[in-house]
Amino acid sequence: YTQAKALVYSKYGEPKDVLSLHKHSISAPHGSQVNLRLLTAPMNPADVNQIQGVYPSKPPFQTTLGTSEPAAVAGNEGAFEVISTGSNVKNLAKGDWVIMKRTGLGTWRTHAQLDESQLIRIENKDGLSPLQVGTVSVNPVTAYRMIRDYCDWDWMRAGEEWLIQNGANSGVGRAAIQLGREWGIKTLNVIRERKTPEETEALKQELKELGATAVVTEEEMLTGNFRDIVHEITRQGREPIRLALNCVGGKNATALAKTLAPDSHMVTYGAMSKQPVALPSGLLIFKNLSFDGFWVSRWGDKNPELKENTIRDVLQLTRSGRFKDIPVDKVEWKWDAEGPQLAERVQGTLGGYRSGKGVFTF
Ligand code: NDP
């Protein structure tokens, strides 16, 4: 038996109110089962929305882990190490690193027992860290697919074309910057102003070092002469902005859309400001802009092979040093960690202005 602990919830609410630490034991794996140990699991905004009960995918509440009430294990993404395998397991061995094939399996736990079919093996973990593997399947895949699948790829690749995005310092945003740099697409990045001008400048600089072509604040975008700024950096429109990536909504999203060249796309994938996206009719009528939405969970379920290829591609870039780690706020999950302590750390995920993404390590 392996002793295990999992952060579970049996009703929806704020993480600090509904998450609890459940201790249980895991038997030796049989058949195609695999026993796993946590390496790294991130706290993504969607994980918190799911615990709040406001996310469209809801893992079922079950009693399989022996909880007194039916419960779900929180967390959707993570890297795990194989510690033992059942006799029918074909493609995994002790010491392998794996990630989850789908979301909703529960990753905020020290150990797990899953079926081989639910896991993706990391083919070559050399040169990769648990953090890189544990955060590859949601943010980078989202950025990658939005850029590849929502614009005329050959057109975009011809160079001298731009994408614009808000939430540029997010995990997805940082991935989009680096993929843009790799693929020869210029990026115009919008961030929120920090507490001091120095901090704002430092963040702009940080994103430029990742490969951002230009970085502006939301305030700069929403006031005064942003039109002129865009006009200038796009060389009077000779370098058109073809794609907008929106994870904020509200006025910010409207401002992004206004910069787009005719026939371009805006892809909405998040709603951090909780404000609706409002679109001037002229953008639809005269500019023929298209507005799309992207959800990586649904995309991945429909395109499992392409998802694995996408992950492989990003990990290859990572290995070669061309895809940098996101800043993180590490929460070391020691064996004696208390539930409330861990839940408190989850609570901050949607807070904004964070120094890095929260990640559990064990
Ligand atoms: P991170 O946790 O890495 O970063 C959060 C981002 O949100 C930061 O850029 C932060 O900016 C910004 N933010 C927080 N609060 C607000 C606010 N009130 N108004 C404007 N911006 C805000 O996030 P992820 O990269 O993991 O996710 C970013 C977004 O993308 C989320 O909305 C998430 O749900 C969504 N997402 C969607 C996916 C999909 O398939 N549709 C997949 C992955 C992510 P600041 O530093 O200024 O606070």
Instruction: State the complex-level ipTM.
Output: 0.99
Q: Is 55 a catalytic residue?
A: yes
Q: What is the pLDDT of residues 217-263, one digit of tens each?
A: 999 999 879 999 999 999 998 999 999 999 999 999 999 999 999 99
Q: What is the pLDDT of residues 2-17, one digit of tens each?
A: 999 999 999 999 999 9
Average pLDDT value for residue range 121-139: 97
- Give the model's pLDDT for residue 1: 87
Task: For each of the domains in the chain, give its residue range(s) and CATH number, in order of start.
Answer: 2-135+326-361 (3.90.180.10), 140-297 (3.40.50.720)
Over 80: is that where the pLDDT of 158 sits? no
Q: pLDDT confidence of 160, banded at 50, 70, 90? A: confident
Atom 31 (ligand 1): residue with closest C-alpha?
270
Residue 318 identity: T
Pocket test for ligand 1, best of 44, 131, 272 (most atoms within 8 A of CB): 272
CA dist 81 and 99 (Å) reads 9
- Per DSSP, the three-state class of 267 is strand
Average pLDDT value for residue range 345-355: 93
Q: Which member of 9, 12, 55, 144 is catalytic?
A: 55
With beta carbons less than 8 A apart as the criterion, state whether 293 and 267 touch.
yes
Containing 146, the helix (H) or strand (E) segment is: helix 139-149
CA dist 144 and 91 (Å) reads 27
Give percent above pLDDT 90 in the chain.
95
Q: pLDDT confidence of 360, banded at 50, 70, 90? A: very high
Q: What is the pLDDT of residues 307-342, one digit of tens each?
A: 999 999 999 999 999 999 999 999 999 988 899 999
- Whether 273 is in the pocket of ligand 1, judged by its Cβ within 6 Å, is yes
pTM, two decimal places:
0.97
- Whether 270 is in the pocket of ligand 1, judged by its Cβ within 6 Å, is yes
| CA geometry: angle 314, 113, 347, nearest 5 deg | 65
- Per DSSP, the three-state class of 88 is coil
